[in-house]
Structure 1
Amino acid sequence: MMKIKQEQSERHVLTITVDNEAGILAKIAGLFTARGYNIDSLTVADISENHSISRITIVTHGPPAVIDQIHAQLDRLVPVHKVVDLTEMGAHVEREMALVKVAGTGDARVEALRLADVFRAKVVDTTTSSFVFELTGTPDKIDRFVSLMRELGLVEVGRTGVVGMMRGAEAA
């Protein structure tokens, strides 16, 4: 009996520098959708003084061949200036920001504040029955914080998605 070798799915962080024009995000998302690729996280921001260039950060999963295909197809889109796979490039920094609303009173409220302190989450809104925490860190750190808050009265979570950058003095 022959076993079929399954390629291991890997997480990749792609940064894409594009012309800041209407429809480019739809083109890139369409490229992923049409080929059945999933986008785990997506962020977009204007990065130039004259507002002509944007940076898109996409987190996706797939076997190396699929990631290479995504990279090649993104490179072929006309308004795309540069595609960098931060995962392939080596050491890089990733951060995500989240707002986490937790409702509770008494001991649960005290414990939520204690955990927020441990995770260096900042209280950005408070009422007598709830908090909204702001937390910045790796996706894993945010996942752990949210998981702990579920036990204490998690109401709502909003996440920005990952942004990433190569370590060191050079641009990616």
Structure 2
Amino acid sequence: MRKQVLSLLVENTSGVLSHISGLFSRRGYNIDSFSAGVTADPRFTRITVVSSGDEQILEQIEKQLAKLEDVIDIKKLQDGESVCRELILVKIKINDTQRQAVLSVANIFRAKIVDVSNDSMVIELTGGQSKLDAFLDLLRGYDILELARTGITGLSRGSSNVTIID
């Protein structure tokens, strides 16, 4: 079983997210991660979908997505040929004696402290999944109160693989 990251360029219409997620649920395919946002052109939305399966399932997912009316373009985001990132926000319960150690870990990973209170701290970190997982692994000794992950988003490298719509 392997993971596949697909970048979809779709028309920015109501119901497009429902059509795409419905395709997955109707066929029993799993979505590991799903992120969407309007592009520089408000007529279009970029959706990044991460799914897992064997070669046949992943091929079927791509073929079924290509059949959807709102889908304009599909790109497989391969390692080395694309840039993929994820954002996490982590709220950690801390006391005065733990604060400096957590700050040190955050600095090593170039994380940002976005909120501090007497008994907690919220940290923002962006990067690849392995970086985020390593960061969370170092925080296992602390009480994580809340954790939010955006899911992967990505783009292919270079300008030769860009879909231009007039």
**TM-score by structure 2 length?**
0.91
- Deviation, 1:107, is 3.3
User: Which of the residues 143, 154, 157 maps onto 1:164?
Assistant: 154
2:81 to 87, 91, 105: 91
Answering whether residue 46 of structure 2 is matched by residue 55 of structure 1, we say yes
2:7 to 12, 15, 35: 15
List runs of 5+ in structure 1 lacking aligned partners: 1-8
Q: 1:6 corresponds to which residue? A: none
Q: Which residue of 2 aligns with 1:136?
A: 126
Question: Hey, what's the Cα distance between the residues in 2 that align with 1:109 and 1:150?
Answer: 15
Distance change >3 Å, CA 147–CA 169, structure 1 → 2: same
Distance 1:150 1:132 in 2: 15
Q: Structure 2: which 5+ residue stretches go unaligned?
A: none
* Equivalent residue number for residue 25 of structure 1: 17
Which one-letter code corresponds to 1:143 in the other structure? D
Displacement after TM superposition at 1:147 (Å): 2.5
State the 1:121 CA deviation. 0.6
Cα-Cα RMSD: 1.5
Q: Distance in 2 between matches of 1:166 and 1:124?
A: 30
Q: Alpha-carbon deviation of 1:115?
A: 0.5
Offset of residue 168 of structure 1? 2.4
The residue type equivalent to 2:49 in the other structure is: I
Paired residues in the alignment total 162
Instruction: Give, as a single letter, the amino acid of the residue that structure 1 aligns with 2:138.
Output: L
Q: Distance in 2 between matches of 1:61 and 1:24?
A: 22
Could you tell me how far apart the structure 2 residues matched to 1:32 and 1:68 are?
13
Helix, strand or coil at the partner of 2:136: helix
The one-letter code of the counterpart of 2:90 is V
Residue number in structure 2 paired with 1:77: 68
3-state SS of 2:161 partner: coil
Q: Which of 126, 134, 138 is residue 148 of structure 1 equivalent to?
A: 138
Structure 2 distance, partners of 1:48, 1:105, is: 43
Normalising by structure 1, report the TM-score.
0.88
Q: Secondary structure at the match of 1:150?
A: coil
Separation (CA, whole Å) in 2 of partners of 1:38 and 1:151: 31
Distance in 2 of aligned mates of 1:11 and 1:91? 15
Are 2:64 and 1:64 aligned? no
